[in-house]
Amino acid sequence: MNSIIYNFEKIKNLIDNNKTNIIAVSKSFQYDYIKPLVDYGHRHFGENKVQEATNKWTKVREQIPEINLHMIGRLQSNKAKEAIKLFDYIHSLDSLKLASLLAKFEQSLKLKRKYFIQVNIGNEKQKSGIKIEELDEFYNYCTKILQLNVVGLMAIPPVSENAGKYFKLLMELNQSLCLAESSLGMSDDFKDALKYKSTFLRIGSAIFGKRS
Domain total of the chain = 1
Task: List Cβ neighbours of 32 (8 Å cut-off, separation of 6 or more).
Answer: none
How does pLDDT run across 176-192, given as a tens digit for each residue? 999 999 999 999 999 99
pLDDT at residue 148, rounded to an integer: 98
Check pLDDT > 90 for residue 88.
yes
How confident is the model at residue 161, as a pLDDT?
80
- Per-residue pLDDT tens over the stretch 95-124: 999 999 999 999 999 999 999 999 999 998
Write out the residue range of the structural domain in which residue 107 sits: 3-208
Of residues 211, 205, 195, 190, the one with CA closest to residue 7: 205
DSSP code of residue 187: T
pLDDT in tens, 27-66: 999 999 999 999 999 999 999 999 999 999 999 999 999 9
pTM of the predicted model, to two decimals? 0.96
CA distance 82 to 200: 23
188 in helix, strand or coil? coil
CATH number at residue 116: 3.20.20.10
Provide the β-strand partners of residue 44.
68
Long-range contacts of 34-37 (CB under 8 A, 24+ apart): 34/4, 34/208, 36/2, 36/4, 36/5, 37/4, 37/5, 37/8, 37/207
Query: What pLDDT score was predicted for residue 194?
Result: 94
**Is the pLDDT at 162 greater than 90, yes or no?**
no
- The Cα–Cα gap between 175 and 199 comes to 13
Residues above pLDDT 90, as percent of the chain: 91
